[in-house]
Amino acid sequence: MELIIRMKDVQKQFGSLSVLSGVTLDVPMGQTVGIIGPSGSGKSTLLRLLIGLDRPTGGSIEIDGEPLWLHKRNGKDFDLAHLRRVRAKIGMVFQQFNLFPHMSALDNIMEAPIHVLGLDRAAAKSRAEEYLDMVGLADRASAYPGQLSGGQKQRVAIARALAMRPKVMLFDEITSALDPELVGGVLAILQELASTRSMSMIIVTHHMKFAERCAERVLFFDQGRIVEDGAAESIFTNPVEDRTHQFLDSLIERDA
């Protein structure tokens, strides 16, 4: 079993506040993992650590067999060139769209392949058009973010991340900023990705039905720890841990 992510005893503290406490997690290549849990349980922090936006306080993280954080010879400073190279294997879509407002949808998607991957403009344009079509926005290529709905902006953000062709995709509550009627279209894209693409995906979501249908494996987080880790069907129909039971039972509407 080839692993794309390996986390061992990962800890994260902000001052005296412990956000993650000894998280150990292996994710095989191609697996879709859903992460659920109450607000403040450390779910988003986990994703930020995986993409290198934050450094762990303790423990180790490997991506595709390489340490994410590599010390230079003096043992004090991190090798930023190494971090950027490993981080290029990971794409992330955030709660907010973070699109460049002065660029069209097409140009937003082309930007990183040109400046990070070194693609020429023609190749980047072809790739951007491919992913815009995949998310159902081929006819909005020339539109600017201000001319797009929230759901359309989020789909452009997904296409932008996919255009880097990462080995891992991270999604952090990407429907939380959308009106309820726009959520379905974005979730449908993630379901399609999970069923048709070979990359690994980690999806933090408060949509229980989506996690149940889309993810092969579900992690339940609470107070900075993985309380339960299992097949999606077993987590939602017959969880082992009492705390998981309590969390699921507390949700008035699991489809919300």
Whole-model pTM: value is 0.90
DSSP 20: E
> In the prediction, which pLDDT does 113 show?
94
pLDDT of residue 254: 47
Segment 98-110 shows an average pLDDT of: 95
Q: How far apart (Å, rounded) are the C-alpha atoms in residues 175 and 94?
A: 9
* Over residues 76-92, mean pLDDT: 85
Contacts 24+ apart (CB under 8 A), 173-179: 173/44, 173/95, 173/204, 173/205, 173/206, 174/93, 174/94, 174/95, 175/205, 175/207, 176/95, 176/206, 177/95, 177/96, 177/97, 177/150, 178/150, 178/151, 178/154, 179/150, 179/151
* Torsion angle, alpha carbons of 92, 36, 53, 120, to 10: -10
Q: Rounded mean pLDDT of 16-20?
A: 93
Q: What is the pLDDT of residue 209?
A: 83
Arithmetic mean of pLDDT over the chain? 89
At 223 the pLDDT is: 93
pLDDT at 37: 94
pLDDT tens for 182-224 read 777 878 888 888 777 788 999 999 888 888 888 899 999 999 9
Residue-range domain boundaries for the chain: 90-165
